[in-house]
Amino acid sequence: MFRILFHTPEIPGNTGNAIRLAAITGAELHLVEPLGFELEDSKLRRAGLDYHDLAVLHVHPTLEAAWKALAPERVYAFTSDGDTSYTDIAYQPGDVLMFGRESVGLPEEVKQDPHVTARVRLPMLPSLRSLNLANSASIAVYEAWRQHGFAGAQL
């Protein structure tokens, strides 16, 4: 359905939660190296519970390798300086929802990559810097899935 892309994530618990999110929603999770943890990290395993075998997970050595594997038609880069609200997008199956590192977000060169369709933001109070990575991905995936009637879900 939808594809989540974490660009060089740093915190294993966030990626573990995203593994669970991918399994529960039918999304794919793509990680671009370098990762700030080992895939066998106990915190990643604990956060993902027993969903690791149920999730579609791909690890790519570079962003270029991810683009080649994904062959995306549309990529939405979620960033605090995005110019489009996440609710203004008409999501389509196969869309890539891309998120950056927990500490600094997406690098400017990634935000400007020609694959990026739009830079997207989640609303926040102006005095705050960012929302947790796994929470951000959850909000975006559930909005995209909601727009498609939660296809395949038990309602």
- pLDDT higher for 1 or 87? 87
Question: Is 100 annotated as ligand-binding?
Answer: yes
Question: Is 122 annotated as ligand-binding?
Answer: yes
Task: Tell me: pLDDT of 2 over 60.
Answer: yes
d(CA 114, CA 15): 26
- What average pLDDT does this structure show over 9-22? 93
For the chain, the average pLDDT equals: 92
Question: Is 155 annotated as ligand-binding?
Answer: no
DSSP reduced 3-state for 28: strand
DSSP bridge pairs for 99: 6
Q: Which two tokens stand for residue 120?
A: 């997207």
Domains of the chain listed by start with CATH number: 3-147 (3.40.1280.10)
pLDDT tens profile 94-136: 999 999 999 999 999 999 999 999 999 999 998 887 889 999 9
Q: Interhelix angle for 133-147 vs 12-25, to 10°?
A: 10
- Give yes or no for a cis peptide into 34 (omega within 30° of 0): yes
